[in-house]
Structure 1
Amino acid sequence: METLTQPVQNSMKPGKWLNSSCKMCIHSCTTRIHVTEDGVINKIEGNPTSPSNNGRLCPKGNAAIMRHYDPARFRTPLRRTNPEKGPGVDPKWEPIGWDEALDLVGRELRKTLDDDPRKLMPAINDFQKLFLWAWPAALGNANYLSSVGNFCGGGYHPMNGFIHAAFAAANDVNYCNYWINNGGGDGFSSHLHTAAQANHVAKARVERNMRVVVIEPRLSIGAAKANEWVPIRPATDRQFALGLAHVLVAEKLYDAKFLKKDTNAPYLVGPDGYFVRNGEGKIYVWDAVDNRARLWDDPELNDFALEGTYTIDGKPCRPAFQKFKDILGDCSPEQMEKLTTVPAATTRRIAREFAKAAQIGSFIEIDGRVLPLRPAAYNYYRGAQGHKYSAMANHAFKLVNFLVGAIDTPGGHVGVTLDDQMQDIRGGFGAIRPGENGMLQTMPHQLHPEVPFSWPPNETHLMGFFPIGVDPGHLTQHTLANADKFGLDYQPDTLLMCHSNPLWNLPGDREQWYDLLRSMRFIVAIDILPNESNEWADVILPSHDLLESWNMTMIEPPHHEGMCLRQPATPPLYDTKSEEEIFYEISERLGLLETWNGILNFVNGFHQKPELLLEPNRKYSDREIAERKGKLWNGQGLDWYVEHGHAVTPRRPDKWYRPWDGMRLHFYLEDIVRARDTLRQKMEAADVPFRHEWEWGDYQPLPTAVPDPVHLEPADFDLYAITFKDIQINFGESIGNPWINDIVFKDPVHTAVLLNPKTAREKRLDDGDVVRIESPYGAIVAKLALSEGVHPDAVCVSNALSRVATQNTGVRHGGGNFNQLLPANLRHTDACSGQPETVARVRLIKLAGVPTDVAAGNSVFGKMSGMGRAH
């Protein structure tokens, strides 16, 4: 037999393997990249040495090759020569040199800064280089034009900060035996490190027979693989969770010891919503044995009362747990069924199964620590919590985990850091810290510090009015359309985008967004490929792609920690630059170099090690920034990371399980009451004219079952439209990629809008019919595919259909952006968290055919014909 002199895998040419990390979504699976002897990348696969993704890689990761070699990539700086702007309008780009482009950008931004820095509208959305998000701070600017962050997790991220002092959360796959997924694809098709999580979840199911229950309106990939799919009417997930909680409390299936010892559930709450305190600010509890009030840390305390009504200093008060029990009195599964359509018997059964699986009272020893073992956890994401009352929805899901003691325990629901680099047990940004009265210090601000209140507002999206929220970029449409009412004494005229597509991700009326962009004096975009938004730019600054650049990150790792290297696999194919170099060059031209380096030192944590500090007036490359981040993590230089690819290990148990041990978790969120009242006082003092219209009821320390306003739309809008993603289009960055298109557009799930056959019959609709989907706020056009895997009240729109005409001919257009079905207003925005409603009430109108304005140049409709039913 002939001996091979070169390694051969999948019939590849000889070459070399390089260690790197993916960036085809916001996360960071480690990879191995094969480069042939002639310098061509011909294979990308997962790195088997990483315990995070274990050599697994999703279709998007493999498709990075196609984006690297995409002929539509921006190849050099470009200047617009066509003064007309509009969707699909040819900018008539003119190639220019970098010095000319950067000088032009510097001059135009300088005009804006000299006039009014608030007139700059930033949209910077690179999650793997989060430090770039801080660049506007160098200008003293807190504006933000995007729905990245708040559209998917407006209430999710602050609530994780309240409960876990973390950015995200995940069920602990290491020990969980009963896994609930509500409105999210974790472990199957989307969200955190999808390929990695799917691998670990599959192992848990094979090795431990972990049971999976999925609650959502559509039979998703996760639901199809689950032990049980529970169809639910859209935007009623909070009520379902409260139905579960009702059963757990009414049948005493809760962990009373955990609630008493590790939470503020026994703390007494007065009629004003605040904890009852003595003159020194210490909180009272009720001694259930001596039947008297004591301070929470009184050494003579016999037992905490969780229930009852008491009087202290003439004021009635109740333990926080009793307050929640009172709310649950109106949340029986039978009552909730009227809204959710989930049979009460199903809710009761799942609650009992969940409690039994939680093994309340059991323990496990890990690394010498004896920890509560709670192998049942309730996980969720955007589909479940992306609604008007988002803060309450997130809190309701957390409280189901609270009741069985499954917060940050082995097998339970555990906090996930945003970027490992900035997280530590007792120090650093995003750290676990003790708060007052024995409680964990809450950390609702995970993306940036709180933006100060101002009147007139300094931000068009009113971020100063959301003291515990995530930037509601969509409100810019609402405030600018009502500038006098909202006190705006300036008009934004400059837009800077970096890897951002606000026209795609923002809800609201498309024409109003188009008018906003037409009003801009100057628009600059830092990007790789054309999209709906950057075709409006005056200047394009082309950046390297992930296979040409350096970075170091580990973004939202569910069960692991440690830096992951991204390194160039080829020299830049075109005349592009790294984002770091671009922002340095702009900063230098604006005289902000020293300020920018000071900000970078803080947001990257370099101030923790003086030897890593950036010098004030130097410009640094992406390679130099990456090396410092690597050294900050484990002291190793870039050569070590190039050899090993990553420093990923399983998360340290002391950081993963109960890192707050000895502190109390926030069962009751007094901080929300305080934030509400403080904001109200500021608005009263400033005589803000719309203060009485503000949605003060959105601020609740415990969730209630009040229906979201989407359920109160006019009755003729009798269906609920939702949008969804699968793994190949998870977190964007997919447009025009032929490998991804090959998967997506051969699947009727992604080429037509899904409707239940029973609903279709009632409306005299059939498979393949063209319909106009109308909400009170906008409309899109689509073809129907009938599927039993859809709740009868739901209309399911794949994210793949949410495109509009652009300069990128590789993007297949749908019948309009789903987000135009949604309003961009305060009524449908959670005043507490900034989360916009992501479900639309709609009606279907059958059309004779595809309208000519939609059909023109629309390849999706051609591909959809004859696709057949979605099963």
Structure 2
Amino acid sequence: MANPTQPVQNSMKPGKWLNSSCKMCIHSCNTRIHITDDGVVNKVEGNPTSPSNNGRLCPKGNAAILRHYDPARFRTPLRRTNPDKGPGVDPKWEAIGWDEALDIVGRELKRTMDEDRRKLLPAINNFQKLFLWAWPAALGNANYFSSVGNFCGGGYHPMNGFVHSSFAAANDVNYCNYWINNGGGDGFSSHLHTAAQANHVAKARVERNMRVVVVEPRLSIGAAKANEWVPIRPATDRQFALGLCHVLVNEKLYDAKFLTKDTNAPYLVGADGYFVRNADGKIYVWDAVDARAKLWDDPGVKEFALEGSYDVDGKACQPAFQKFKDILRECTPEQMEAVTTVPAATTRRIAREFAKAAQIGSFIEIEGRLLPLRPAAYNYYRGAQGHKYSAMANQAFKLVNFLVGAIDTPGGHVGATLDDQMQEIRGGVGQIVPGENGMMKTAPHQLHPEVPFSYPPNETHLMGYFPIGVDPGHLTQHTLANPEKFGLDYQPDTMLLCHSNPLWNISGSREKWYEMMRAMRFIVAIDILPNESNEWADIILPAHDLMESWNMTMIEPPHHEGMCLRQPATPPLYDTKSEEEIFYEISERLGVLETWNHILNFVNGFHQKPELLLEPGRKYTDREIAERKGLLWNGKDLDWYVEHGHAVTPRRPEKWYRPWDGMRLHFYIEDILSARDTLRAKMEAADVPIRHEWEWGDYQPLPTPVLDPVHQEPSGFDLYAITFKDIQINFGESIGNPWINDIVFKDPVHTAVLLNAATARGKGLDDGDVVRIESPYGSIVARVALSEGVHPDAVCVSNALSRVATQNTGVRHGGGNFNELLPANLKHTDACSGQPETVAKVRLTKLAAMPREVAAGNSAFRQGRGH
């Protein structure tokens, strides 16, 4: 009988197996790569020794072979010879040597540094090498021209920092018995470590009969496999969650002990929204037995009051829980049904089922530690929270878990780190740190430190005006179109792209983005394959792909921890370099090599062990940096990792379950008000012209049911357009790969927009009809496919249809970028978190035929030609 821990040899050719990790999405499943004796990669599969993905691998992981051997890859440094730039315009690349290419880049970037460092727009999006994101800091530049991290999780990441001191969150598959997925495909089709999570979720359903409820406008893969699909009108998920909270609170289905002991829910809040404090800054609570105010840590408190209205030192106040209960008066399931279309009876039933499944009051012993057991959890992602009032949406979902005591408990909703190593060694970020008045210190800044406020703004995307947000890269369009309004005293003219495609991933008008790109004096792109953005470059610096490079990381592991090795499977096929070497060469030419090494020492944590420090004036290889990261994690050298492939283990329970034990969590987030008022004071002092139109109401310590502005578009726009993705196109880096195309473009879900059959009939539309999908901000064209698995108000656009065929012959022209339908303005941006609205209100117009330019793109795709 075959050993189940050994990889399966699916090739007749002899060769060797190599341990590595995948990079076909942002995550890091452990893999085994087979290389034939003649040096050809002919098989990739999951590494069965990894407890994370247990030998599983998704279609994208298997398609890594076609990434490696893609004939469209950049093979040598390239210089543009065509001065004309535009979508689909042939750059007429000329091959040049590395020294010449790097000298040109160094010269042009040095000019920008000498003139005004703010003129550089960087877009560095390699998640598995997060340390590269810090490179602009070596130049004193904080611009960020991209929506990566913000479009998908603008409010999500800061809220996880507020609640868990983490970057992400996941339901605990180890013990969960009632799993709600809202607007995210965790465990089925997308988001965190998809191949790994799908394996673990499937086992939980088979072994424990875990119930899955999926709340989404579309019958997604997850919804199709769930016990129950709850169709919901797009951009109303927050209201649904508040409806659940109404039932849990008013039927007293909540964990009062958890709320009073482990959260700030009993802290008294004044009329100004701030906690009521004494002269020493200590917060008051109300003792329900003695009927008087006491300090939160008074050992004489007999019973913390969660409800009621009181007077303390002449100040009217209420417990934070009462504040939330008052909000919920306007959130009955019946009231929320009018917004969400989810029947009130369904909301009430799910809330009761959820509370019952949570087993409030139960405990479990894990490794000698007695812990609350709460096997019910509410999980969500971009579809649910990617809206104007994103911070409030994220908090609403968290509060469902708060109410049953399921935050960071076995079976509950648990924080997940961004880069495991940073959780271990980076002080104050991704760690649990005590704060004031018994509360855990919040950590909303998970990607980088807070960007200082300035006026005029030093960042085109106004990051200094989002003190607890994630970089709103889309606002660059808004500010550059109105430089006087925003006080911009410089005009960006240089761009550095690294594994980034902002012209695809960013909201707003394509034409306006094109205008901005044409205005660039110089653009350099570090990349592997052509895309919509790097075709505008003046210089291409070709990077190694994942089978030619070294790295050590584990990105957003839901239930595991430990470094994952990526190592070369073959020598570089072409004249390419690692990203590390490229940035070192550029840094040396700019005279910032020492600064860059200092930054690398900090962001990688090497400063924690002096023997790992990078020397100031040296350049290091990707191999040397990977080895240091491995040594930092477990003291093992690269030879150990080459043999084992990874150091992955189940997450240590003390890190995973209640790592904040003894501190109180932020049920009520006063820090949001503090950030608001500090920013407002800075704007007033600087006399910032836009301060009076800033969306100050977006800063709320508790979520409210206020409608997102997308619902208030002109009445002629009667449907809601959403975009979605399945596992084979999860986190980009996909379309254009022949194997991925073979899956995607044979599936009608990904070759036409989905429309509810009854809605289509009401509009005189049928399968295959061509429609223009128009929002108040832009339009796209596509064919219609009718489906019963779509909410009647929704138009569902696959991520596969949002690409534009340019010089990459493998990209199908879908009729226009979905993001064209979305605005890039302040009104539709959460002033608290920086999250842009990701749903568009649209109207459909039937066309007689596919427009000529779209038909030409499709024809080019079918014939295997580019533009």
After TM superposition, the score normalised by the length of structure 1 is 0.98
Q: Distance in 1 between matches of 2:478 and 2:88?
A: 25
Corresponding residue number in structure 1 for 2:818? 818
Instruction: Indicate if the aligned counterparts of 1:287 and 1:294 stay in contact, CA closer than 8 A.
Output: yes
**AA partner of residue 26 (structure 2):** I
Corresponding residue number in structure 2 for 1:119? 119
Corresponding residue number in structure 2 for 1:868? none
2:50 aligned with 1:59, yes or no?
no
2:134 aligned with 1:129, yes or no?
no
2:185 aligned with 1:185, yes or no?
yes
Corresponding residue number in structure 2 for 1:158? 158
Instruction: Indicate if the aligned counterparts of 1:399 and 1:667 stay in contact, CA closer than 8 A.
Output: yes
Corresponding residue number in structure 2 for 1:867? none
The Cα offsets for residues 817-845 of structure 1, whole Å up to 9 and x where unpaired, read as: 00000000000000000000000000000
Corresponding residue number in structure 1 for 2:565? 565
| CA 1:308–1:538: 2 relative to 1, 3 Å | same
Corresponding residue number in structure 1 for 2:3? none
User: Secondary structure of 2:478's match?
Assistant: helix
Q: How does 1:583-622 map to 2 (within 5 A)?
A: 583-622=583-622
Q: Distance in 2 between matches of 1:354 and 1:7?
A: 41
Q: Distance in 1 between matches of 2:720 and 2:828?
A: 15
Q: Distance in 2 between matches of 1:48 and 1:26?
A: 20
Q: Distance in 2 between matches of 1:247 and 1:732?
A: 39
User: Secondary structure of 2:424's match?
Assistant: coil
Corresponding residue number in structure 2 for 1:625? 625
The offset of 1:293, in angstroms, is 0.2
Corresponding residue number in structure 1 for 2:783? 783
| CA 1:598–1:431: 2 relative to 1, 3 Å | same
Instruction: Indicate if the aligned counterparts of 2:7 and 2:47 stay in contact, CA closer than 8 A.
Output: no
Q: Distance in 2 between matches of 1:590 and 1:426?
A: 28
Instruction: Indicate if the aligned counterparts of 2:429 and 2:443 stay in contact, CA closer than 8 A.
Output: no
| CA 1:291–1:7: 2 relative to 1, 3 Å | closer
Please give the root-mean-square deviation of Cα atoms over the aligned residues, in Å. 1.1
Corresponding residue number in structure 1 for 2:279? 279
User: Secondary structure of 1:715's match?
Assistant: coil
Corresponding residue number in structure 2 for 1:723? 723
Instruction: Indicate if the aligned counterparts of 2:259 and 2:402 stay in contact, CA closer than 8 A.
Output: yes
The offset of 1:11, in angstroms, is 3.4
Q: How does 1:730-769 map to 2 (within 5 A)?
A: 730-769=730-769
Instruction: Indicate if the aligned counterparts of 2:429 and 2:445 stay in contact, CA closer than 8 A.
Output: no
Q: Distance in 2 between matches of 1:93 and 1:418?
A: 38
The Cα offsets for residues 479-536 of structure 1, whole Å up to 9 and x where unpaired, read as: 0101000000000000000000000000000000000000000000000000000000
Q: Distance in 2 between matches of 1:425 and 1:487?
A: 39
Q: Distance in 2 between matches of 1:11 and 1:724?
A: 35
The Cα offsets for residues 192-250 of structure 1, whole Å up to 9 and x where unpaired, read as: 00000000000000000000000000000000000000000000000000000000000
Q: Distance in 2 between matches of 1:689 and 1:782?
A: 42
Corresponding residue number in structure 2 for 1:74? 74
Corresponding residue number in structure 2 for 1:651? 651
Corresponding residue number in structure 2 for 1:243? 243
Corresponding residue number in structure 2 for 1:230? 230
Q: How does 1:345-356 map to 2 (within 5 A)?
A: 345-356=345-356
Q: Distance in 2 between matches of 1:570 and 1:645?
A: 16
Q: Distance in 1 between matches of 2:381 and 2:582?
A: 34
2:524 aligned with 1:524, yes or no?
yes
Q: Distance in 2 between matches of 1:115 and 1:8?
A: 58
Superposition misfits of 4+ residues, deviation over 4 angstroms: 425-428, 859-863
Corresponding residue number in structure 2 for 1:205? 205
Q: Distance in 1 between matches of 2:317 and 2:641?
A: 57
Corresponding residue number in structure 2 for 1:704? 704
Q: Distance in 1 between matches of 2:576 and 2:786?
A: 46
Instruction: Indicate if the aligned counterparts of 2:73 and 2:528 stay in contact, CA closer than 8 A.
Output: yes
2:419 aligned with 1:432, yes or no?
no
| CA 1:861–1:601: 2 relative to 1, 3 Å | closer
Q: Distance in 2 between matches of 1:582 and 1:271?
A: 55
| CA 1:426–1:360: 2 relative to 1, 3 Å | farther
Corresponding residue number in structure 1 for 2:828? 828
User: Secondary structure of 2:646's match?
Assistant: coil
The offset of 1:855, in angstroms, is 1.3
The offset of 1:427, in angstroms, is 4.7
Q: Distance in 1 between matches of 2:668 and 2:610?
A: 40
The offset of 1:657, in angstroms, is 0.2
The Cα offsets for residues 540-592 of structure 1, whole Å up to 9 and x where unpaired, read as: 00000000000000000000000000000000000000000000000000000
Instruction: Indicate if the aligned counterparts of 2:474 and 2:824 stay in contact, CA closer than 8 A.
Output: yes
Corresponding residue number in structure 1 for 2:487? 487
Instruction: Indicate if the aligned counterparts of 1:425 and 1:655 stay in contact, CA closer than 8 A.
Output: no
The Cα offsets for residues 797-829 of structure 1, whole Å up to 9 and x where unpaired, read as: 000000113111111111000000000000000
Q: Distance in 1 between matches of 2:136 and 2:803?
A: 29
| CA 1:63–1:227: 2 relative to 1, 3 Å | same
User: Secondary structure of 1:423's match?
Assistant: helix
Q: How does 1:43-54 map to 2 (within 5 A)?
A: 43-54=43-54
The Cα offsets for residues 310-367 of structure 1, whole Å up to 9 and x where unpaired, read as: 0011110000000000000000000000010000000000000000000000000001
Aligned length: 858
The offset of 1:735, in angstroms, is 2.5
Corresponding residue number in structure 2 for 1:502? 502
2:426 aligned with 1:403, yes or no?
no
**AA partner of residue 539 (structure 1):** I
Q: Distance in 2 between matches of 1:805 and 1:183?
A: 29
User: Secondary structure of 1:722's match?
Assistant: strand
Q: How does 1:367-516 map to 2 (within 5 A)?
A: 367-424=367-424, 427=427, 429-516=429-516
| Structure 1, 338-347 or 732-741: larger mean CA deviation | 732-741
Q: Distance in 2 between matches of 1:182 and 1:622?
A: 39
Q: Distance in 2 between matches of 1:81 and 1:655?
A: 54
**AA partner of residue 519 (structure 1):** A
Instruction: Indicate if the aligned counterparts of 1:528 and 1:545 stay in contact, CA closer than 8 A.
Output: yes
2:357 aligned with 1:357, yes or no?
yes
User: Secondary structure of 2:348's match?
Assistant: helix
The offset of 1:859, in angstroms, is 4.2
Corresponding residue number in structure 2 for 1:18? 18
The offset of 1:426, in angstroms, is 9.5
The offset of 1:266, in angstroms, is 0.2
The Cα offsets for residues 234-277 of structure 1, whole Å up to 9 and x where unpaired, read as: 00000000000000000000000000000000000001110000
The offset of 1:10, in angstroms, is 1.9
The offset of 1:424, in angstroms, is 2.9
Corresponding residue number in structure 2 for 1:310? 310
Q: Distance in 1 between matches of 2:734 and 2:249?
A: 45
Instruction: Indicate if the aligned counterparts of 2:7 and 2:48 stay in contact, CA closer than 8 A.
Output: no
Corresponding residue number in structure 2 for 1:216? 216
Q: Distance in 1 between matches of 2:421 and 2:59?
A: 27
User: Secondary structure of 1:275's match?
Assistant: coil
User: Secondary structure of 1:654's match?
Assistant: helix
**AA partner of residue 257 (structure 2):** K
| CA 1:724–1:310: 2 relative to 1, 3 Å | same
Q: Distance in 2 between matches of 1:853 and 1:728?
A: 27
**AA partner of residue 74 (structure 1):** F
Q: Distance in 2 between matches of 1:146 and 1:522?
A: 18
User: Secondary structure of 1:66's match?
Assistant: helix
Q: Distance in 1 between matches of 2:330 and 2:474?
A: 34
Instruction: Indicate if the aligned counterparts of 1:425 and 1:659 stay in contact, CA closer than 8 A.
Output: no
After TM superposition, the score normalised by the length of structure 2 is 0.98
User: Secondary structure of 1:406's match?
Assistant: coil
**AA partner of residue 858 (structure 2):** N
**AA partner of residue 202 (structure 2):** A
| CA 1:814–1:111: 2 relative to 1, 3 Å | same
**AA partner of residue 549 (structure 1):** S
**AA partner of residue 23 (structure 1):** K
User: Secondary structure of 2:486's match?
Assistant: coil
User: Secondary structure of 1:424's match?
Assistant: helix
The offset of 1:379, in angstroms, is 0.0
Instruction: Indicate if the aligned counterparts of 2:809 and 2:861 stay in contact, CA closer than 8 A.
Output: no
Corresponding residue number in structure 2 for 1:801? 801
Instruction: Name the % identity.
Output: 88
Q: Distance in 2 between matches of 1:723 and 1:153?
A: 15
User: Secondary structure of 1:856's match?
Assistant: helix
**AA partner of residue 625 (structure 2):** I
Q: Distance in 1 between matches of 2:662 and 2:36?
A: 55
